Amino acid sequence: MNRLIIVSNRTPGKDPAAGGLAVALRKTLADRNGFWFGWSGKLTEKPSPDAMFENIDGLSVGRIDLTRDDHHAYYAGFSNSILWPSFHLRLDLATIEAPWYEGYRRVNAQFAKALLPHLQPDDVIWVHDYHLIPLATELRALGARNRIGFYLHIPFPTTDALYAIPHHNELMRDLARYDIVGLQANRDVIAFTDFADNQSPSSLADGPLEAVDFSRTEVAAFPIGSDPDAFARLATSPAANKMIKRMQRFLDDQRLLIGVDRLDYSKGLPQRVEAYEKLLANNAHLRRLVHLLQVAPPSRDTIKEYQETSDALDAMCGRVMGRFAEPDWAPLTYVKRAYGQPSLAGLFRLARVGLVTPLRDGMNLVAHEYVAAQNPDNPGVLVLSRFAGAAEIFPEALLVNPFDTDETAEALRLALEMGLDERKQRWQALMDAARHYSIDNWAQNFLARLNPAGAQGGGGPDRDFLYLASVA
């Protein structure tokens, strides 16, 4: 079997609480005898051209250091202040600074140069996420002829939003240098196809007036998932039970609603708390009977827009507390720190309602984890944004428009009042989908497509898994 090389901005470390994605990719790498390649997390004053390899718990990891300036332009700048907001259709939150693009390309070129000496001709390369869109171009410019696949962990933008990104046409040319581009959901393939099929002179402003040729690139949705059975076991583990007992003492008879997210403007957190406020305002009988727990540790907090989201959420939580709290009852708890997977699994299992209401999201793995953690004899209800990729595979959740806080408030009421039979029925369908779209199936199907000759069992991808394939 060909070796597999995984490339991503960050590489897995020694963290035992690593999420499902890192665990699944480690497992895939172990089967295929390759290595993981990425940034070391270290910032230096001068560029360091060579990668350092290390064995971490049996996994070979190659890393490069980046200079402080390059890293800023590449990561906080082009990746997270231009690509992230634009891909999530938040053009109002994008900051455009011309030099960032050069830094972004410089870092991608540095990745390629440091990676190339470690490649063998029949290695299969799997590049992850928006930080590394130009990597195939850079590798090919150095002579690499390997099969190279790209997987995007965030939504693909509509054509208009794409046009707002400086050098968008060059970035699309970069994507056309991959053998496969994997996207999160059907919706993303449609957006990609829309660009590919309707290239106009206005979209070609930054390059030669020639349409991008996608004829050698396959584009398909590969919905990412979790390891639902492992997560279900975690939810009944001693660590999860400890968290459940602790919360039960605190909650008494109140029903728990839970939200767990990185603190990011794409996750719709102030809107979610506003919907909860409306639930309490419209349903006085629920006061003292419900409690919202929102877990949201800060992320990317050097970026102004993230600080502003944090302030907006603080203000919204304060408003709901001020409006409804009593000396002996608080309507919500807002925790600004991360918890390990076992504690989260316990909290999910205890919660009658799981709130996953991003304004726009790739898949959203919290939705999968909430489903997996439920007690099959008394499951909770998932309230899910229609704008999360998960909505395509979880139609049995209560789907809401997160911008419409009245609708979300009503869905919360329905979720809290839903009878056991309906909850069980919906949950069973959700759990079946979580199993079908498991992280192991995702990795296997992407690799079967990227490297059909080396597919385990010689099978090629599961057609049922890919529900929309191939543009151009």
In the bound state, the residue with its beta carbon closest to ligand ADQ is 362
Q: Which of 70, 179, 369, 410 binds ligand ADQ (CB under 6 A)?
A: 369
How many Cβ atoms sit within 10 Å of the Cβ of residue 92? Answer: 8
Q: Does 70 bind ligand ADQ (CB under 6 A)?
A: no
Find the catalytic residue in 153, 194, 436, 440.
153
> Which 272-301 residues touch ligand ADQ, going by CB under 6 A?
295-297
Of the candidates 7, 4, 23, the residue with the CA atom closest to the CA atom of residue 15: 23
Q: Which of 3, 10, 153, 413 binds ligand ADQ (CB under 6 A)?
A: 153
Q: Does 26 bind ligand ADQ (CB under 6 A)?
A: no
| Beta-carbon contacts of residue 306 (< 8 Å; ≥ 6 apart) | 263, 264, 265, 298, 299, 300
Q: Sign of the CA dihedral 182, 185, 186, 187?
A: negative
Q: Which is nearer to ligand ADQ, 1 or 468 (CB)?
A: 468
Q: Does 424 bind ligand ADQ (CB under 6 A)?
A: no
Q: Which is nearer to ligand ADQ, 44 or 333 (CB)?
A: 333
Entry field: residues in the chain: 472
Q: Which of 65, 188, 361, 410 binds ligand ADQ (CB under 6 A)?
A: 361
Q: Does 59 bind ligand ADQ (CB under 6 A)?
A: no
Map residues 107-146 to x or -, x wherever contact with ligand ADQ holds by CB under 6 A: ----------------------------------------
**Residue 153 falls in the annotated catalytic set:** yes
Strand partners, 159: none
Q: Return the half-sphere exposure (C-beta side, CA atoms, 13 A cut-off) of residue 244.
A: 19
> Which 199-218 residues touch ligand ADQ, going by CB under 6 A?
none
Nearest approach, Cβ of residue 337 and ligand ADQ (Å) = 8
**Residue 285 falls in the annotated catalytic set:** no
Give the amino acid at 344: L
Helix then strand count (H, E) for the chain reads: 17, 14
Q: Are 237 and 342 in contact (CB under 8 A)?
A: yes
Stretch that binds ligand ADQ, among 24-32, 73-81, 204-212, 258-266 (CB under 6 A): 258-266
Stretch that binds ligand ADQ, among 156-164, 202-210, 320-328, 365-373 (CB under 6 A): 365-373
Q: Are 352 and 380 in contact (CB under 8 A)?
A: yes
Nearest approach, Cβ of residue 438 and ligand ADQ (Å) = 13
Q: Between helices 420-436 and 365-373, what is the axis angle to 10°?
A: 130
Q: Does 410 bind ligand ADQ (CB under 6 A)?
A: no
* CA distances for 126 relative to 31, 235, 363, angstroms: 15, 31, 19
Encoding tokens for residue 422? 């309906």
* CA distances for 470 relative to 126, 194, 232, angstroms: 18, 13, 34
Q: Does 365 bind ligand ADQ (CB under 6 A)?
A: yes
d(CA 405, CA 402): 6
Catalytically annotated residues: 153, 361
- Which positions touch ligand ADQ (CB under 6 A)? 19-21, 153-154, 224, 260-262, 295-297, 338-339, 344, 361-366, 369
